[in-house]
Amino acid sequence: MQLNVIKRLTTQPHMGIIRWNRSYSSVPVSPPPQQHNADYQELYNLLQSGKTSMDIKTLSKIHSRIITFSYGTSPSLMASLMLKYVHCNCRSIVYKVIDQVFCWSIDLVELNLIIDKLMRTENYRVAKMVFNKMRARDVVTWNTMIGGYVRKARFEEALRLFRFMNKSNVEPDKYTFASVINGCAKLGALKHAQWVHELLIEKRIELNFILSSALIDMYSKCGKIQTAKEIFDGVQRNNVCIWNAMISGLAVHGLALDAIKVFTKMEVENVLPDAITFLGILTACSHCGLVKEGRKYFDLMRSRYSVQPHIEHYGAMVDLLGRAGLLEEAFAMIKSMPMEPDVVIWRALLGACRTYKKPELGEAAMANISRLRSGDYVLLSNIYCSQKRWDTAQGVWEMMKKKGVHKVRGKSCFEWAGFLHPFKAGDRSHPETEAIYKMLEGLIQRTKLAGYVPTTDLVTMDVSEEEKEGNLYHHSEKLALAYGILKTTSGAEVRISKNLRICYDCHSWIKIVSRLLSRVIIVRDRIRFHRFENGLCSCGDYW
């Protein structure tokens, strides 16, 4: 069957264009002859060169030689060729190359290799085109696509594809589930997580240490720490990864003492902790202000277990000391580090400077961050605003504008009816906007009567108090919570996830809402979980 595809490429160098010829119905698919190995290596090196793009004339010559030497069934060459055409902005030719690949009887293994390379280079659209044209797919095909989406934080696409896979005639395996469970964990979508777990049981997939760790991590990050504990108690715990997942899960929920108990149990069961174990313990101590304990485990990792601290461990210690208000000690630790401090460490110090209103030290931290992000400018601006230094704060925003740095907008999500409903500050794009704002207005009024006072010094503008309050009322967390209360029944838990740290004003407001409505409200922010109940938060107002 003849298709309108690439049949032949001109080998006339002076033309530098692609010529389509319908008279060729096939291209040789036999393995490259031995004498052409040098040609193959040369073509491979050209396509793998450091240059991200090359002109169309050069590329067409390479394409011509690939066809001439019958290398069209080489997954590496064809995937690289597609990528080069993408970089040349020749997408129409990419589509024809894909058609060409399917004209040759290239086998499933080779197609899977092409998809893998395209996914690893973030060419999802091209990879999906190849995937959609495949007449047969095996579990490796699906795993490559799903795993690629998860690696690049495209979790919802990974879940959609997994649902599609379950309607196909290919059964998922433990590698499929490992990727999907990881995606659910990162997304924080509990309903999706529970469905995937049920399917894992239904398919009778045997738990290994990878899947056990992934399940513990998933339920921890979806706010179900008790379920994570139950899984931990019910599986074989002979691998350190399982202990690390449990300790890290307890850490993000602010359950430092529970994390320390797990560490003690780990020692009793003769499982040696590693660098990740200690990072989890130090993080747990940081979230709860356990400075003495943090110092103890930082020393213990070297003295008893001969685990040398990595830069992440120093970062956790700087965070621990900074959160506790020991900024000078944190700064001294940075200066004494045996390696160059990275931006994460300086940002931890900058965040502490925001909490304890230390602009001078904050400026020192900023000076050591080579590539400033929007969050760095915002933190410094907030320090000045909290001291009512409006002109200096405005100078920070002017600097951002001059350098073309845009503030990352906060986004909060509420999961309902199998979908994540995202909200941004002042968002009016939701189909139920009117009902959401009406609910929010009512909640604001009730909380004010119960003692809520807006924290207006957080607003980075020198405007009237009324305008500041209006700005705070429509934060993304408040909108997401209003929608959650609108959709759930009395007494039901409301779960919200946010891409940034929850702000002080929303934190105070949600505590009051939880008491007034007798609701459990769980918020997962960028740092940790906050469980609000009866007017209190699990973080103890320390985050």
User: Per residue, what are the HEC states of 240-296?
Assistant: HHHHHHHHHHHHHCCCHHHHHHHHHHHHHCCCCCCHHHHHHHHHHHHHHCCHHHHHH
Using CA atoms of 75, 76, 82, 88 in order, give the dihedral in degrees to the nearest 10: -170
CA distances to 153, 186, 494, 537 from 415, rounded to whole Å, are: 18, 14, 9, 21
Q: Tell me, yes or no, whether 112 lies in a domain.
A: no
Per-residue confidence (pLDDT) for residue 367, from 0 to 100 = 83
For residues 373 and 462, membership in a common domain is answered with no
Residue 334 pLDDT > 70: yes
Residue 11 pLDDT > 80: no
Going by C-alpha positions, the residue among 207, 283, 205 that lies closest to residue 244 is 283
Taking each helix axis as running N to C, give the angle between helix 225-234 and helix 209-221, from 0 to 180 degrees, rounded to the nearest 10: 160
C-alpha angle 296-300-304 in degrees, rounded to nearest 5: 155
Residue 85 pLDDT > 80: no
Per-residue confidence (pLDDT) for residue 470, from 0 to 100 = 55
286 or 101: which leads in pLDDT:
286
Going by C-alpha positions, the residue among 247, 213, 248, 249 that lies closest to residue 231 is 213
Q: Kindly state the percentage of the chain with pLDDT values over 70.
A: 86
Tokens describing residue 420: 């994540």
Final residue before a domain boundary, out of 408, 428, 443: 408
For residues 380 and 448, membership in a common domain is answered with no
Residue 371 pLDDT > 90: no
How many domains does the structure of the chain reveal?
A: 2
Q: What range defines the domain where residue 350 resides?
A: 337-408
Q: Tell me, yes or no, whether 147 lies in a domain.
A: no
Per-residue confidence (pLDDT) for residue 460, from 0 to 100 = 54
For residues 395 and 457, membership in a common domain is answered with no
C-alpha angle 153-155-160 in degrees, rounded to nearest 5: 150
Q: Tell me, yes or no, whether 172 lies in a domain.
A: no
Per-residue confidence (pLDDT) for residue 22, from 0 to 100 = 31
Cα 96 from chain centroid?
A: 34
By the 8 A CB rule, do 459 and 505 touch?
no
For residues 417 and 527, membership in a common domain is answered with yes
Q: Tell me, yes or no, whether 357 lies in a domain.
A: yes
Q: For residue 540, is it left (φ>0), alpha (ψ between -120 and 50) or beta?
A: left
Report helix, strand or coil for 31.
Answer: coil
- What's the average model confidence in pLDDT over 223-231? 96
For residues 488 and 462, membership in a common domain is answered with yes
By the 8 A CB rule, do 281 and 259 touch?
yes
Per-residue confidence (pLDDT) for residue 259, from 0 to 100 = 97
For residues 381 and 481, membership in a common domain is answered with no
For residues 401 and 422, membership in a common domain is answered with no
Q: Tell me, yes or no, whether 352 lies in a domain.
A: yes
By the 8 A CB rule, do 181 and 215 touch?
yes
Q: What is the DSSP string of 79-92?
A: HHHHHHHHHTT-HH
Q: Tell me, yes or no, whether 508 lies in a domain.
A: yes
User: How confident is the prediction for the chain on average, in pLDDT?
Assistant: 84
Residue 253 pLDDT > 60: yes
Q: Tell me, yes or no, whether 325 lies in a domain.
A: no
Residue 165 pLDDT > 80: yes
Confidence of residue 161 (pLDDT cuts 50, 70, 90): very high
Other CB atoms within 10 A of residue 316 CB = 28
- What's the average model confidence in pLDDT over 436-454? 95
Per-residue confidence (pLDDT) for residue 108, from 0 to 100 = 86
Residue 403 pLDDT > 70: yes
Residue 349 pLDDT > 70: yes
Confidence of residue 72 (pLDDT cuts 50, 70, 90): low
Final residue before a domain boundary, out of 388, 408, 428: 408
Final residue before a domain boundary, out of 408, 434, 463: 408
- What's the average model confidence in pLDDT over 489-499? 92
